[in-house]
Chain A
Amino acid sequence: MPNKVINKVTFPHMGESFRAFKMLLEDLGNEVILPPRPSRKTLDLGVQYAPEFACLPLKILLGTYMETAQKGANLIVTSGGVGPCRAGQYAQLHKAILSEQGYDMDMVVFEPPKLYPLDFIRNVRKLNVARLSYRAVYQCIKRSWRKLKALDSLEKYTHVIRPREQQTGVTSRIYKDVLAWIDQANSIKEIKEAENAGLNELQKIPQDQYRIIVKVGLVGEIYVLLEPASNLEIEETLGNLGVEVERSMFLTGWTVDNTIKETTELLNAKDAASPYLPEMVGGHGRDSVGHTILYSQRGFDGVIQLAPFTCIPEIVAKTVLNTVGKEYNMPILTFFLDEQTGKAGIATRLEAFVDLMKRKQKFRTSTANS
């Protein structure tokens, strides 16, 4: 047998999804170098080598790749894109910057399989080091997909429990334990078991039934929505302020939208947005507008938009959201995140925003009762 190059694979860090990706890539016979949770150091590395006006996700990803390269990773698995959001071009730029800095890293870029079916198969082959049959590969993907779904459903549930917990911080602590269970589960049966056990455990957290809870929808650009380290744990902060957060995007939903078929959820958002923003402006600009309208129709108290600084689609969305907010009488708070954003500043603005929504809710209930 010829000398085989061992793939030391890494990928972008996006919330807890790394647990599922790790399982998949290891099943296919790769060695996985786990991306560290983005930290100050990650960002500093990214900022140093990325173009100044590139958006936050590019900088964080670049930093992540450099950190993993230093740990020996030689293959990056990432997603592509077809524009017009510039994130679709980041893989090429990352590669150029990395090789300039002396990191010899290969890249596997997954484009939408509907547009590039051959590319997709080639990419899968490259990652299939164990030379599993297509059937076996399919099984592996299915299992990791199930894990991804379990991770998403657990995270969703913490958003409901956290604002109601009696003792601050319990949810986050238990969530951590639950994630470890999911990590250890390997077969679909085990994953299901771990998920149910996790949901049960979260449900057992003592809750305060009388607290005023406001509901907030979270919309915006995918990376800053999905990676808590990039949005300074906004969901946790909100939860601790007594806010039930519903995020408009999860990795599983996004993947289905972009690989198989657009989900009804996305189609609804598109429809809702069409009077205001009928054009696909790239990224998630139109979805942000659509979801804001859907949240308002469902009686949410407010919407928070998260976007990286200079994000083109979200700037278009924000301009349109001004009118949407007025017409639907919906408070909307936008954060443009960059490397300078501080957690305390965000917390202060969130507190004020939550106070405003709570007062509005009190006013509404008192006028309804009288």
Chain B
Amino acid sequence: MVKIGIPSALFYYVYYPKWESFFQALDIEVIPSGKTTKQLLDNGVREALADACLPVKVFFGHAISLRDKVDYLFVPRIVSTNKKTVYCPKFLGMPDMIRHGLPDMPPLIDVRVDVRTQKFAIWRAYEFLGNFLGVKKGKVISAFRSANQVHRRYKELMVAGHHPLSAMAALKGNVNLSSPRHTGQLTFALLGYPYNLYDPFISIQLIDKLQKMGINVLTPENVSAKTLQEKPPVLQKGLFWTFSEQVMQAARHFFSSGKIDGAIHLTAFGCGPDSLLNNFIEREATKYPHIPLMTLTMDEHGGEAGITTRLEAFIDMVQRKKRGVRNAQ
């Protein structure tokens, strides 16, 4: 049986259930690289360019960990999925960076997806995969259909309040499917890209930490695509990058919804799009002076204690502020 490796980084948190379902329907074994570990990151840091951003280094680490375990490495070149925005240039060049930046890698499957230049580009990409793997077209079509269903279900679970990892577990039937209950005193919006927020290593388990401190965490993935499109883009041109535009729209939604007490923007050191996004989020936040915003920048040095201290201080501040507002009323 052919084995395809999927690095558990970057697009993993968006598309893994879909990809897994598709490949499995074609009788192909899918091997994810699993959780990010210190060792894995160290490997990535050693091989990747020093100037690359943290998630790219993590991706390199995941790719290395699959080196001898799989027949093919699945690194699709996803350029645009909505005609308006594209993904960060590092995503666009990812197959080339892996191919030319890492020695002795298994062959890559780097199918290109760009809905701006091709009709039905997404289906075409899956068709290409089916052809490449020598599967009959009928089987590919039904696999594509069921993969889409899985993807829809996955997104529904997230809009219902699950975060990707728990939604993935729920899809597998490991957890009860009822949406998680929000019982905390405070609600925070956690803003950032899925591959940073949900990678327990990059984010130093920020979501768990906040939940343990009695805080409900809302993330951009919890907002439906429809809600994200309600407001016109903040810039005349919109932000160029799909993830950034999503986070920006989610931030505006959270701020204006009145449901959050505070917001945290989690960004990775060296992130190009975030140098703009963070600035625009800050600008948005100044319109809502009662909602404090904190920016956390993550890098490969970890530093859990420092982050915890900052979190505690931030939560204290939000609580005090909330009490102050209540007393004033």
Chain A positions within 8 Å of B, measured between CB atoms, are: 51-55, 80, 82-86, 88-89, 92-93, 96, 276-283, 285, 309-313, 315-320, 322-324, 336
Contact = CB atoms under 8 A, between A and B. Distances in A.
A-B pairs with the 10 shortest C-beta distances? A83-B240, A316-B93, A323-B100, A53-B275, A312-B272, A281-B89, A319-B101, A319-B97, A312-B89, A282-B89
Interface stretch (B27-35, B47-55, B118-126): B47-55
Contacts of A85: 89
Contacts of B97: 316, 319-320
Interface in B94-146: 96-97, 100-101, 112
A283 B89 contact: yes
A55 B278 CA distance: 14
A83 B97 CA distance: 20
A160 B272 CA distance: 36
25 contacts: A51-B279, A53-B278, A54-B275, A54-B279, A55-B275, A84-B86, A84-B241, A86-B240, A89-B235, A89-B240, A96-B283, A277-B93, A279-B79, A279-B112, A281-B90, A281-B92, A310-B270, A310-B275, A312-B88, A319-B49, A319-B52, A319-B100, A320-B93, A320-B96, A323-B100
Given A53-B271, A83-B240, A310-B275, A318 B49 contact: yes
A227 to B, nearest CB: 20
Given A312-B88, A316-B90, A336 B51 contact: yes
A89 B280 CA distance: 12
A283 B92 CA distance: 13
B183 interface: no
Nearest to B94: A316
Name, among B77, B90, B93, B275, the residue most crowded by chain A CB atoms within 10 Å (CB to CB). Answer: B93
A92 B237 contact: yes
B210 to A, nearest CB: 25
Contacts of B294: none
B276 interface: yes
Interface in B28-65: 48-49, 51-53
A102 to B, nearest CB: 16
A86 to B, nearest CB: 6
B300 interface: no
Given A51-B278, A309-B51, A315 B96 contact: no
B89 A51 contact: no
A183 B48 CA distance: 47
A164 B279 CA distance: 48
B90 A320 contact: no
Contacts of B90: 281, 312, 315-316
Nearest to B98: A319
Contacts of A319: 48-49, 52, 93, 96-97, 100-101
B272 A51 contact: no
A88 B240 contact: yes
Contacts of B283: 96
**Dominant SS at the B interface?**
mixed
A276 B270 contact: no
B89 A84 contact: yes
Contacts of B101: 319-320, 322-323
Contacts of A315: 49, 51-52, 90
Name, among A85, A89, A278, the residue most crowded by chain B CB atoms within 10 Å (CB to CB). Answer: A89
A310 B96 contact: no
B30 to A, nearest CB: 25
Given A86-B240, A96-B283, A285 B89 contact: yes
A296 to B, nearest CB: 15
Name, among A92, A283, A316, A317, the residue most crowded by chain B CB atoms within 10 Å (CB to CB). Answer: A316
Name, among B53, B92, B270, the residue most crowded by chain A CB atoms within 10 Å (CB to CB). Answer: B92
A316 B278 CA distance: 22
A276 B275 contact: no
Nearest to A83: B240
A279 B270 contact: no
Given A96-B283, A310-B275, 4 more contacts: A86-B276, A281-B90, A315-B52, A319-B48
Nearest to B234: A92
Interface in B262-315: 270-276, 278-280, 283
A319 B274 CA distance: 21
Nearest to B100: A323
Contacts of A280: 92
Contacts of A309: 51
Nearest to B93: A316
A283 B112 CA distance: 20
Contacts of A96: 279, 283
A309 B79 CA distance: 24
A55 B195 CA distance: 23
B236 interface: yes
Nearest to B283: A96
Contacts of A283: 89
B239 interface: yes
Contact of B270 (A53, A316, A323): A53
B160 to A, nearest CB: 32
B166 to A, nearest CB: 31
B89 A89 contact: no
Nearest to B272: A312
A276 B89 contact: no
Nearest to A97: B279
A289 to B, nearest CB: 9
Contact of A93 (B48, B51, B272, B279): B279
